[in-house]
């Protein structure tokens, strides 16, 4: 059973590896970040330079929490600076000192200006907060951080379940999963086989060949030489919030596939969760069709 811990619209999913111990340790890290920034009242560039790993915590302290790209845009700073601080926990070694301090100062200003007033209640009073207030704020920010980690873990688990549903449905109709090494290319798959997370090569501008992973590749039983297999992307969403941000991903993929293989190749979706008419309309305009997981038998309409 999935156990959910909710604090002010944040979710921690202990079933997916976000344990109570992790939550406690994350709270301690947030408390340290608050101590370094005088409880979010004085985020000095020198502090960020010496402690780059605190940046993800500071992003979760704002209202609303700021995504990495949003922070880069709002502060007008180098994407490489933010990426290095968050992914590598270090400052880019080749960045000039004056430019570095200027950009870190901008980051600190944005965080201070957008600090959540319902969490950091002392900022309105002009003091540094009580011990109890700081601990409460640390717990909330820690839950936000844990939720940010848990969401992709949950999505990956949902994707595995979706692909397992496709596998079961196909095998019940006489299809078999492709053996590793059986086909070097997706066009060489034998009729009546399928594979998951198969790399499909496409040609980029300039003639460079790259592989794009496709969640499900299915060669129909009645396929003739030269026929394309069906390509499906498994998508799940727990709410409507982020689907429109992600809809361009599929549009880009189908455009790249058509540019490489022509208009006869198809790329469709296997959906679970919340996808509204705006998302579906956008995909339909690109010639992308879809099957809902709860109506998996609609796969038969694709010729399987």
d(CA 232, CA 291): 9
pLDDT of residue 152: 61
CB-based burial, 49-58: b 16+ in 10 Å, e otherwise: eeebebbbbb
pLDDT of residue 154: 63
pLDDT of residue 22: 74
pLDDT of residue 19: 62
d(CA 220, CA 256): 23
The list of the chain residues with pLDDT below 70 reads 1-19, 149-155, 238-246
Question: Is the Cα dihedral 267, 270, 276, 277 positive or negative?
Answer: positive
* pTM, entire model: 0.55
Q: Which domains does the chain have, with CATH numbers?
A: 4-150 (no CATH), 173-302 (3.40.1350)
pLDDT of residue 267: 95
Joined together, the tokens standing for residue 24 give 């406690």
pLDDT of residue 304: 93
- The string of pLDDT tens digits covering residues 118-132 is 999 999 898 989 999
Residue in the block written with tokens 């200027």: 102
CA 52 to chain centroid: 22
């Amino acid at each position: 059973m999935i156990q959910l811990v909710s604090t002010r619209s944040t979710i921690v999913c202990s079933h997916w590896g976000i344990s109570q111990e992790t939550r406690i340790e994350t709270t301690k890290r947030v408390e340290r970040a608050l101590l370094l920034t005088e409880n979010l009242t004085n985020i000095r560039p020198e502090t960020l330079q010496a402690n780059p790993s605190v940046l993800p915590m500071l992003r979760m302290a704002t209202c609303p929490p700021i995504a990495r790209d949003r922070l880069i845009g709002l502060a007008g700073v180098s994407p490489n600076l933010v990426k290095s601080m968050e992914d590598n926990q270090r400052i880019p070694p080749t960045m000039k000192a004056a430019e570095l301090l200027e950009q870190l100062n901008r980051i600190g200003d944005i965080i201070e200006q957008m600090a959540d007033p319902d969490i950091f209640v002392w900022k309105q009073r002009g003091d540094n907060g009580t011990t109890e207030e700081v601990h409460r704020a640390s717990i909330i920010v820690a839950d936000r951080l844990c939720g940010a980690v848990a969401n992709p873990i949950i999505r990956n688990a949902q994707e595995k379940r979706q692909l397992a549903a496709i596998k079961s449905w196909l095998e019940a109709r006489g299809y078999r999963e492709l053996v590793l090494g059986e086909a070097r290319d997706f066009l060489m798959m034998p009729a009546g086989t399928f594979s998951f997370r198969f790399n499909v090569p496409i040609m980029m501008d300039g003639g460079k060949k790259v592989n794009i992973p496709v969640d499900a590749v299915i060669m129909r039983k009645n396929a003739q030489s030269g026929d394309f297999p069906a390509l499906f992307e498994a998508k799940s969403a727990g709410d409507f919030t982020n689907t429109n941000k992600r809809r361009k991903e599929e549009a880009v993929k189908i455009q790249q596939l058509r540019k490489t293989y022509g208009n006869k190749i198809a790329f469709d979706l296997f959906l679970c969760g919340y996808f509204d008419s705006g998302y579906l309309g956008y995909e339909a305009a690109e010639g992308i069709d879809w099957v809902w997981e709860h109506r998996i038998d609609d796969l038969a309409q694709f010729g399987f």
